[in-house]
Amino acid sequence: PPEIANLPRIGGLIDPDIETIIALRPDLVVPYATQVDLVAQLGRAGIPLFQYSHGTLSDVLTTIRQLGDRTGHARQAEDVARGIEADLAAIAEAVSGRRRPRTLLVIAREPGSLRNLFASGGSGFQHDMLWLAGGENVFDASVSRAAQVTTETILQAAPDVVLEVRAGQALSPAEVAREVAVWQALPSLPAVRNGRVVFLTGNDLVIPGPRIVQGVTRFAGALHPDVALPTR
């Protein structure tokens, strides 16, 4: 959002600038559960912490409510959470009764190739997003959030749709076309044969937070392009 443009830079999830964070003397720091070193160092500095983890979509809503309580904005947080719940329910209702296309949700791979490919497994917020959007995860039986899969495994799964997501800014049409064309290496795959390889970019597809409604809407639009989806 534009409001953050002039705020101090303090690093990212992998490389937080701990010295800068401490120097800012924050009233509260909200680290992710995996940031154990950050938690330990800030704890020693006496900085209040609120740790969270977003394994599922339900966790996102829980965190919104808990953080609202912690910051004295419980009513506003409840309004946000209920709004998200209502929007997600409306999307699910719009695609209900439709056949769920068997979908390969690709969350990472080497650009320009099908090497080092990771797909959404049968748990996690992206799996939940896919289900709400009216898709069936071809790796639903996997217990992991992300599974590294081979082209042989993908051919065996035979997805109707390949839905590929990438964080960051949108690619140019030419760049998207090049990435979609990579899948021509698997011409017998139903998704390739029927022209149903979809490449999407944007943080709303890969970061669990208040924008998950946008992400689920985009998934649903890719899976069910003929359905009129709710807009807010």
DSSP sequence for 202-222: -GGGTS-STTHHHHHHHHHHH
Q: What is the pTM of this model?
A: 0.89
pLDDT in tens, the chain (232 residues): 788 888 999 988 889 999 999 999 999 999 998 899 999 999 999 999 999 988 899 999 999 999 999 999 999 999 999 999 999 999 999 999 999 999 999 999 999 999 999 999 988 999 999 999 999 999 998 878 899 999 999 999 999 999 999 988 788 899 999 999 999 999 999 999 999 999 999 989 998 888 999 999 999 999 999 999 987 6
Asked if 2-93 and 99-223 have one fold, the answer is yes
Q: How far is CA 128 from the centre of its chain?
A: 10
What homologous superfamily does CATH list for 2-93? Nitrogenase molybdenum iron protein domain (3.40.50.1980)
Domain spanning 99-223, CATH architecture: 3-Layer(aba) Sandwich (3.40)
Specify whether the CB–CB gap between 87 and 61 falls below 8 A. no
Residue 232 has a pLDDT of 65
* Sign of the alpha-carbon torsion through 29, 33, 38, 43: positive
Cβ neighbours around 41 below 10 Å, total? 16
Residue 177 has a pLDDT of 93
